[in-house]
Every structure is written in C-alpha cells, then in structure tokens.
Structure 1
Amino acid sequence: MHTLAYNDIKAATDRIAGRIRPVTLYPVDPGAIHTARRDLLDDRPDEPCEVWLALEYMQHTGSFKARGAQNFIQAHREAGSLPDAGVTIASGGNAGLACAWAAQQQDVRATVFLPITAPAVKVAKLRGYGADVRLVGAEYAEALAACEQFAAATGALASHAYDHPLIAAGAGTLLEEIHQQIPDLDTVVVAVGGGGLFSGVATAAQHHGIRTIAVEPENCRALNAAIEAGRPVDVTIDSVAADSLGARRTSAMALHAAQQDKVHSILVPDAEITRARQALWDRYRIAVEHGAATALAALTSPDHRVPDRDLPAPPTTPSRSYRPGSGEKVAIVLCGANTDPSNLLHPAT
C-alpha cells in the first residue's frame, strides 16, 4: 500500500515552490454560514464562525491537480528517473490536463490516452499544452489499457490521477499554504473523489492538529463506503459531480488518512451541491465545478445529524451536513473550475 507522511508534503512544498500559483483565501460574508446549536445549559455567548474560501480553482489548468503533476515530474527529474519517453496518463479530465501542463513546463514529452468519445474541446486543450493525444476505444478502461501498454513498450513514466504518493503530496501543499495564512485554523473542508487531494490535505492537517471534513455526493461515495467496509470497495456512480468526483474506488492511501483522528466523512445530496454551486455564482460570481461546490454544500445543507466533532460518523447513519462551532475558523477548498458556466448564467426555474 502507498503511504503518505507529512515529510512527503514538506518535500513537495519545497520542490514546487515558484512553479504553481499560491492559493488565495477569500472571507465568506459574516453570518452566511450558521454555527452549531449549543446545549441549552451552555450560557457562554455565541461567537460567529470565520469561514474562508480557498480559491484553488484559480490554479494552473483550473484545478488543484497541477500541484501533484508538477511534484510528480519534478521529483522524478531530481531522482534521475525521468525517461526519454516522458510521461503518460489516461485521463481526459483535470488530471490529464495537469499532467500535460506540468510536462510542458518541464520540457518533457506527454502522451495522453482518451477514448474516442472524448469531447473535442478536451482534446484541443490537451494538444494546446503540447501533449500527444491518442484516442483509443469507446470507454476509459480501453484507453487505460492502451496507456499501460504504451508505458511498458516505450518506458514512459505512467502517472495516475490520484493513487500515487507524489501526486497526493503535491495536493497536500495546498493545506500548507492555507495554514501559513491562517495559523490558528480549526477545520478544512474538502471534496473527495479518488482521494488524492483528501489524502494530502488530511495528512498535512493532522500534523497541524486541524480537523478535516471529507465531503462526497450521496451517490458517489467511494471513501465513505471504504470507511464503512474497512477496505476500498467499488461503488456505483450517479451524481451531478461525477465528472470530477466519480471514482469507483478510493485509494488505500485515502482510507488510511480517513481512519486517523479529526476526520469526518459527510455525504451531501445532489440538490444541495447544485444549490451551493449556484450560490457561489449569485453571491461572489465564482463559477466552479459541481465537485468544488460539493465541499461548500456540507456547510449549507439543512441540518440532519451532526456527530461528535472529533469522532467519525457511524457509517450506518452518515452525516449530511457540518456545522462549525462558536468561533470556529474554517477553510473550504474550491478545488476546480473546469465547468460549463452556461447553466449558472441562466439557472433553471
């Protein structure tokens, strides 16, 4: 099993410094996020929570994936293990874009495999980053098989969208930047797909004593299902956020991070994800992917059951919202913005 340690994230922070865009933090309007109800016998005065949006969607290629891709290539270059054949990946999403961008930045060849059904706009964007795009098969699995064959035949370095310690460590540098700006941060809220971002952020957060809220769509719950089963398991994918959070199985590395102290697993319905995404546009003119809005939805969804703050929710009754405590300082990661904004400009009524 791949494991991740805080030292990996510190090394990644030093390695990619100056190669990525530092994250910007934006304060949410006071009172916009409600705090948890106190016990009736608690007569201490309430203090509003302080909430920041971590605008990581402004990162190169439009998502946090640029961090891991840059760390992956740079680490192999430093180790002298970067082959002449360059890097290869099977992904038409944010991971493929990040891999192609990082390779271009490092003057490294990138070969990206996609199914023939991939949208032309994605193919054009990948080629714009200088990637050699190979269209193979009708499904992602066929493109992945072709990518693996290519790596075996040419010696190209195979990258992964999330299940690699260098990829996850690069993503974890985001929390280091947030903590540097808010040293007394209490909680970080992050959406979870395959688990690369979550693994990195949660590992760094644990080191700093920060609580991590791992948020998934109700019908796209690879991490939550793994916590329940005690091992990574396949799940069905049916969510408005499936394009970026639609991993059928989380990584063992992510499960290990989720089993540590100060981690909560939250499931939110699609309707609340859509509502949170629209609210970001209406209030701040921020257009993000549904996957990014998933993190915010945990704090804006109606109250259901809020578990003891530092104990994982029982898997049979997962929480569908998170309410910060009085005076709690929270950062919500908006992780990507590769989305069609047309339905934000003219929302359905």
Structure 2
Amino acid sequence: MSRAEIDAAMQRLRAQPGFLLETPLWKLPASALGVPGGEVWLKLEQLQVAGSFKARGMMNRLLANPIPASGVIVASGGNAGIATAAAAKALGVKCEVFVPTISSPAKQARLRELGAEVVVTGAAYSEALQACLARQQQTGALLTHAYDQPEVVAGAGTLALEIEAQGGVPDSVLVSVGGGGLIAGIADWFGPRARVVALEPELAPTLFRARQAGEPVDVAVSGIAADSLGAKRIGAIAWELTQRHVKDALLLPDDAIRQAQLTLWRQFKLAVEPAAALGLAALQSGAYRPRADEKVCLVLCGANMDPATLS
C-alpha cells in the first residue's frame, strides 16, 4: 500500500460519474459536543452512497478488475455487501452477497432493494465468508473482500485524502475497527502527520487482541456493533499498516457506544449505526483525552440501521 495507490483510487472513482459523493466535513468546537479538546471534526460518511465508507473500496475493487459474466460476490455483515451491491448495480453486473444471521433485517432488506441475491448463512461473518469462498470457486465471480484487499483498502484511504482536501490534516483521527480496512487506508494516507487511534468494542477486540498476542488471532465477536465490526480476525493488510502507523488501540463498552449513538441523534439529528459512534464514545467516556487545543476528527462511517432503534 502507498499514498500513490490511494490517489489512483480517487482518480478512478472520480472517473465513474454519479457514484461517489464528497461527504461533508463538519467542524465544531469540542464544547458543542460536551467533550474535551479544541475542535471536533465530524466526517459525515454516513451520507455516502450505500450508507457507508465501504462504497469507496468496493467500487474501486470493481473498477480495477475485469468482471466476469457471473458478476461479483462478497461476504459481509451488511455494509460491504450493500456497497458492493450498489457498485454492481451502477455498473450493471450481477451481485451475490453472503451475510451471517446476525446481519440486521434492515441491511438485508437494503441488499434486496439493490438487486443483490442474498444468502443468509452462518452465525458470524467468518462463517458467511467460508460459504462465500466456496460459492466463488463454483461460479468464478469476482470476489470483493470486506476489508482485506489492496483495492478495498486504497478505496477506504480516499476518505482520508478527502478529509485533508476539505480541512487540512487534523491532529488526530479516531477510527472504528472491525477487520481494519478503514483504519489501514486512513493510517496509510496520513502516516506520521496525524495521530490515528484505533477504537473497538470490548466485545469485538480484533486488533487489541492481536497486539496482545503479537500476531493476528481469532477472537469471539458479539455486542452492539457486531453486524458492522464483526470480523473475528484483523486483516493482514490492516495488521501490517497499523503496526507501522497506529500507536493506540482502545476498547469501549457497549453502553458508551450506545450513549454516543443517541447523542449524535438527539443533539444533532445524525442517524448513525453503533459502529459509527465509537469516536464520540471515546471522547465522552474519557478513553481518549485530547489536548486542550487538539483538532480531533471523528469518522461517522455508516448509517445502515433501523431508525426505530434511535427512539
């Protein structure tokens, strides 16, 4: 991975008219959120096509490779599948998505609305992935991985490129981690210029446990954000890049994540899924304590959830 690959991904995405959106970067005084620091930047990626940052990496993967008549195939807790289905629809190709039983009904419904063939199998993402890989061997469809392919990570990195173009380089960026594609791309783009902080739920600690073990290991995954941050092992690309660029890996309890999600809705009418609320949860809970003058960027990475859960 390199910044050049991320830049190339952005050029590729911009050449596909009418797909990728430039999502807003909202700068607020930290006091407006009731948290420490000088300024909080909210990157509103929940407004992206297909409802999450995943649209960047999935479309980049499709544009960078020939697509066979059998189309594309992906395993996902929901967001990567929705993004792949949206990209496939935009390009007029078939799409098959394998999701685990923990995938929310709202995400499954959205997949079907986009024209994807949905296969619900396995109790967790890892089991859906194994079924997906077996099916791909039969059909020869182009496989998009939710987080562990170079084109996917480079696509995710375009989010950091966009942040810099809109507002400059923040002092720190707080990033939710599942399989690690997003933090890998962001950390690769910013490198040492910004402090990139990995955030995970206590019940889905893939990067945290890998650091304890000194290598990627399988972990049990559950909790409020498991349908988005449901990978049981940190991706190989993310492991390499976070080892190089990310010093801090923090864990957050589900109740703090839920409180942050509700704060974003009740105070700012920002409807995000739990995985997108980890940055604010880290600030509200004190897990991450910025300097008094620090510019902290929070990536609100997705909004594919049932709005009824915000009541």
Query: TM-score, normalised to structure 1's length?
Result: 0.82
- The answer to whether the aligner puts 1:27 opposite 2:27 as a matched pair is yes
- The answer to whether the aligner puts 1:183 opposite 2:168 as a matched pair is yes
> Any conservation in 2 of the 1:193–1:245 contact (CA below 8 Å)?
yes
Structure 1 residues 290 and 263: alpha-carbon distance in aligned structure 2, compared to 1, 3 A threshold = same
Name the counterpart of 2:301.
Answer: 335
Aligned counterparts, 1:193-342, within 5 A = 193-206=178-191, 209-261=193-245, 263-302=247-286, 321-342=287-308
- The answer to whether the aligner puts 1:58 opposite 2:47 as a matched pair is yes
> Any conservation in 2 of the 1:68–1:166 contact (CA below 8 Å)?
yes
Alignment length (residue pairs): 307
Look at both structures and tell me which one has the larger radius of gyration over its CA atoms. Answer: 1
| Alpha-carbon distance between aligned partners in 2 of 1:12 and 1:75, rounded to the nearest angstrom | 9
Q: For residue 54 of structure 1, what is the amino acid of its counterpart?
A: K
| Alpha-carbon distance between aligned partners in 1 of 2:137 and 2:272, rounded to the nearest angstrom | 37
Give the SS at the match of 1:177: helix
Name the counterpart of 1:72.
Answer: 61
Structure 1 residues 220 and 138: alpha-carbon distance in aligned structure 2, compared to 1, 3 A threshold = closer
| Alpha-carbon distance between aligned partners in 2 of 1:290 and 1:266, rounded to the nearest angstrom | 16
Give the SS at the match of 2:228: helix
| Alpha-carbon distance between aligned partners in 2 of 1:336 and 1:98, rounded to the nearest angstrom | 11
> Any conservation in 2 of the 1:163–1:253 contact (CA below 8 Å)?
yes
Name the counterpart of 2:8.
Answer: 11
Structure with the higher fraction of residues in helix conformation:
2
Work out the percentage of aligned pairs sharing the same amino acid.
45
Give the SS at the match of 1:16: helix
Q: For residue 45 of structure 2, what is the amino acid of its counterpart?
A: E
Aligned counterparts, 1:36-47, within 5 A = none
Structure 1 residues 343 and 142: alpha-carbon distance in aligned structure 2, compared to 1, 3 A threshold = closer
> Any conservation in 2 of the 1:227–1:255 contact (CA below 8 Å)?
no
Structure 1 residues 276 and 263: alpha-carbon distance in aligned structure 2, compared to 1, 3 A threshold = same
Give the SS at the match of 1:337: coil
| Alpha-carbon distance between aligned partners in 2 of 1:116 and 1:282, rounded to the nearest angstrom | 30
Q: For residue 164 of structure 1, what is the amino acid of its counterpart?
A: Q
Give the SS at the match of 2:64: helix
Q: Which moved more, 1:178-187 or 1:23-32?
A: 23-32
Q: For residue 308 of structure 2, what is the amino acid of its counterpart?
A: S
- The answer to whether the aligner puts 1:129 opposite 2:114 as a matched pair is yes
